[in-house]
Amino acid sequence: MPSESPATLALSDGTVVTGCAIGQCGTTRGELCFNTSMTGYQEILTDPSYYGQLVMMTYPHIGNYGTTPAENESHAPKASGLIVRSCTNTPSGPKGRSALDAYLAQHGVVGITDVDTRALVRQIRTDGVLNAVIDSTGLDADTLVARARNCPDMAGRAYASKVTTQYAYTYNRDNGPTVVVVDYGAKRSLLDAFAQRGCTVHVVPAATPLDKLRSYAPDALFLSNGPGDPRAMPEAIAHARSALESNLPVLGICLGHQLMALAQGMDVYKMRVGHRGANQPVKNLMSGRVEITTQNHGFAVDAGSLPDQGAVVTHRNLNDDTIEGLRYPQHKAFSLQYHPEASPGPHDSDYLFDAFLEMVPNRAPALRTARHGLAVAG
Ligand SMILES: NC(=O)CC[C@H](N)C(=O)O
C-alpha cells in the first residue's frame, strides 16, 4: 500500500467510501467510469479521451509493472483521477520503471486505493453513470457529495478543445500516403499505426478547416478519438461533413466516428454505462469474423437514426448490439466506434488501417479491403 493517508470517494448519489490516498494530495472530480482491462493503466490514464473522467480499474491489482514514458499515449495523464482496489509501490519488471503512486504524484493526479471497486461497478451498472469526487485533503463527506452533485455532466461538454494540439506538427515523414490527422485528442498509438505503415503523418488542431487541410496535399484524412460529447461540437461536425464530401478517403475513430455519423444526419446518445475495456466482442458483419476489441466511449451512434442511404452498419457489438462501425457508400469513408490500434488490448482489428490506406488511389490493390467488405465507391 503506497500511503497510510486517508482519502474519500464521494458519489453524486450520496455514496461515500473511504480508502487510502495515492498520487497527488488534493481534490478532483469528474464522471466516474470503469475500465475492465487487466493491464494498460498507464495507456488508459494518458489517453486524452479520458479527460474529465475519474477512471476506476476493475482489475484489483494495479501498478504491478510500474510506469515508463514509452507507455504514454500522450505526454502526461489526462484522466482527472484514478480509483483502484490495490496499488503496489514495489513494481516488478525491467529496471528504471517508476511506481504508479510516484508517477501520479509527479503528474498531479489525485487517486484513491483500497476501495471495493467491484461493488461500485455493480452500483454503476445498476443505476447508470454518475459523477464523483476524490479527496485526500480531509474535506467532510457532505461537502464532497455536494461537489460531486455540482460536477458538470459529460453530456454537452466539448472537451476536445482542452486536449487538441495548439499547433500543427509533422509526426512522421515517409514514402507512403500522406495522412492528415485532425487531433481531437489523438492517442499516440493511432499516429504510430499510420507511421508503421510508411505514412507521412501531419497532425493539426481540431478547429482546422478543410481548405487548410488541403494545403498538406493529403492522400487521406483521419478524424481522431477524443473526450466529451460530439453533439456539442457543431464546428467539428461541419468539418466532418466537408471531409466526407472532399472525395479523399476518410477514417474516423471513436469521437471521429461519432462526428462523421452526426455529419451524415445520424443521432448520438449518451450511454447509460459506457464501454471501456480490452475485451469487447465486435462482429464484422461483412466477413462474419468476431474481433476482440479495445473500447473507451460513453456515447454511441443511435441505430434508430440510420438513414435509408448514406451510412451502412459494418460492425456491431455482440454484448449489446450497439453500432461499432459504419461505412458511407457515397464517400470513400468508414468509421469505427472502437479502437483498432488497441493499446492496451488485442490486435484483432489491425487490418482496418490497411483497409483504410488501400482506399488511397495508386496504392496496392485493395485485397484486404475487399475481403473485409469495406471497399467503397469513389
Ligand atoms: N475514445 C473516444 O474517442 C471517446 C468518444 C466520446 N468522447 C465518448 O465518450 O463516446
CATH code: domain of residue 19 = 3.50.30.20
Residue of 270, 296, 302 to mutate, ligand 1, most atoms within 8 A of C-beta: 296
Assess contact for 197 and 354: CB atoms under 8 A: yes
Assess contact for 134 and 27: CB atoms under 8 A: yes
Does 63 show up as a binding residue in the annotation? no
Does 298 show up as a binding residue in the annotation? yes
Please indicate whether residue 296, judged by its CB atom, sits closer than 6 Å to ligand 1: yes
Percent of the chain with pLDDT strictly greater than 70: 95
ω before 344 within 30° of 0 (cis)?
A: yes
256 C-alpha vs ligand 1 centroid, how far in Å? 9
- From CA 188, how far away is CA 200, in angstroms rounded? 15
Assess contact for 359 and 332: CB atoms under 8 A: yes
Mean pLDDT of 78-105: 94
Q: What is the CA angle 263-342-153, rounded to 5?
A: 55
Q: What is the pLDDT of residues 181-193, one digit of tens each?
A: 999 999 999 999 9
Tell me, what's the pLDDT at 378?
Answer: 33
Return the sign of the alpha-carbon dihedral for residues 98, 185, 187, 209.
negative
Alpha helices in the chain (DSSP H): 41-46, 100-106, 117-127, 141-150, 160-163, 188-195, 210-214, 234-245, 255-263, 351-357, 367-371
SS3 assignment, position 19? strand
Please indicate whether residue 227, judged by its CB atom, sits closer than 6 Å to ligand 1: yes
Question: Within a domain: residue 242?
Answer: yes
Shared-domain flag, residues 106 and 188: no
Number of domains in the chain: 2
241 C-alpha vs ligand 1 centroid, how far in Å? 19
Q: Which of 150, 173, 192 is the last residue in one of the domains?
A: 150
Residue 99 — φ and ψ, nearest 5°? -65, 145
Check 31, 43, 341, 358 and give the catalytic one.
Answer: 341
369 C-alpha vs ligand 1 centroid, how far in Å? 26
| Average pLDDT of the chain to the nearest whole number | 94
Mean pLDDT of 62-66: 97
Q: What is the pLDDT of residues 273-283, one digit of tens each?
A: 999 999 999 99
Please indicate whether residue 49, judged by its CB atom, sits closer than 6 Å to ligand 1: yes
Does 299 show up as a binding residue in the annotation? yes
Tell me, what's the pLDDT at 320?
Answer: 97
Q: Which of 103, 119, 150 is the last residue in one of the domains?
A: 150
Shared-domain flag, residues 225 and 366: yes
Mean pLDDT of 36-58: 98
Question: Which pLDDT band, with edges at 50, 70 and 90, does 345 fall under?
Answer: very high
Mean pLDDT of 11-30: 98
**One-letter amino acid identity for 134?**
I
Would residue 341 show up in a list of annotated catalytic residues for this protein?
yes
Shared-domain flag, residues 139 and 196: no
Residue 313 — φ and ψ, nearest 5°? -75, 125
Question: Which pLDDT band, with edges at 50, 70 and 90, does 363 fall under?
Answer: low
Please indicate whether residue 369, judged by its CB atom, sits closer than 6 Å to ligand 1: no
φ/ψ region of 245 (left if φ > 0, alpha if ψ in -120 to 50, else beta) reads: alpha
Question: Within a domain: residue 347?
Answer: yes
DSSP string, 162-231: HHS-SS-EEEE--SS-EEEEEESS--HHHHHHHHTTT-EEEEEETT--HHHHHTT--SEEEE---SS-GG
Question: Within a domain: residue 1?
Answer: no
Atom of ligand 1 nearest to the CA of 226: 3
Question: Within a domain: residue 18?
Answer: yes
Does 34 show up as a binding residue in the annotation? no
Shared-domain flag, residues 59 and 143: yes
Residue 111 pairs in a beta bridge with 22, 82
Please indicate whether residue 254, judged by its CB atom, sits closer than 6 Å to ligand 1: yes
Domain that holds residue 250: 160-371
Q: What is the DSSP letter of 261?
A: H
| Count of residues in the chain | 378
Please indicate whether residue 252, judged by its CB atom, sits closer than 6 Å to ligand 1: no
Question: Within a domain: residue 27?
Answer: yes
Would residue 254 show up in a list of annotated catalytic residues for this protein?
yes
What pTM was computed for the model?
Answer: 0.95
Q: What is the pLDDT of residues 145-174, one digit of tens each?
A: 999 999 999 999 999 999 999 999 999 999
Assess contact for 372 and 286: CB atoms under 8 A: yes
Question: Within a domain: residue 155?
Answer: no
Tell me, what's the pLDDT at 93?
Answer: 84
Q: Which of 115, 150, 185 is the last residue in one of the domains?
A: 150
Tell me, what's the pLDDT at 377?
Answer: 38
Please indicate whether residue 99, judged by its CB atom, sits closer than 6 Å to ligand 1: no
- From CA 249, how far away is CA 256, in angstroms rounded? 14
Percent of the chain with pLDDT strictly greater than 90: 93
Check 31, 71, 254, 358 and give the catalytic one.
Answer: 254
Question: Which pLDDT band, with edges at 50, 70 and 90, does 374 fall under?
Answer: low
184 C-alpha vs ligand 1 centroid, how far in Å? 10
Shared-domain flag, residues 79 and 208: no
What ipTM was reported for this prediction? 0.98
Shared-domain flag, residues 89 and 201: no
